Structure 1
Amino acid sequence: MNVKEEIKAQIMGALEGANFPIETPEELLAAFPKGAETTCKAGNIEMTAGEAGKLLKAGDFPFKSAEEVADTIISRAGL
């Protein structure tokens, strides 16, 4: 599994119990187990949910699935 796939899997795993759709950035952060402090690590990449949230735009919401959240964050982070 490469870094991109590992980060995606970690984001999706962290959001496994979330209720979708998620309408706001605040709802998204609250859906992570440790909120903004939830951390994904792979290779030399480390990113908190708070840092990842800064990559999102108002137009990205609502999110319909954990995979959609993960794909958007990975795309914006340039992974």
Structure 2
Amino acid sequence: MGVKEEIHAQIMGALAGAKFPLETPEELLGSFPDGAETTCRSGEVELKAGDAGKVLTGEDFPFKSAKEVADVIVERAGL
């Protein structure tokens, strides 16, 4: 499994208990187990949930699933 796939899977796992749709960035961060400090790691790559704000815009909301969140973050983070 590559870095992109591993981070994607970790984001989906971290959001497994989230109640969708997520309407705001605050709801998204609140859905991660450790909020903005939730960290996904693969090899040398580390991505914190709080970093999602750097790649997401208001146009991305609402998110309807964990897969949708993971797809967008992984694609825009350039992994």
Instruction: Please give the range of the TM-score, normalised by the shorter of the 2 chains.
Output: over 0.9
Give the total of aligned pairs: 79
| Deviation for aligned residue 1:60 | 0.2
Question: Offset at 1:29?
Answer: 0.2
Maintained 8 Å contact 1:11/1:66: yes
Structure 1 unmatched ranges of 5 or more: none
Show structure 1 runs of 4+ deviating over 3 A: none
Identity, in percent, stands at: 71
1:36-51 maps to which residues of 2 (within 5 A)? 36-51=36-51
- Are 1:36 and 1:49, in contact at CA under 8 Å, matched by a contact in 2? yes
Where does residue 62 of structure 1 map in the other structure?
62
Q: What's the TM-score, normalizing by structure 2?
A: 0.97
Q: Unaligned stretches of 5+ in structure 2?
A: none
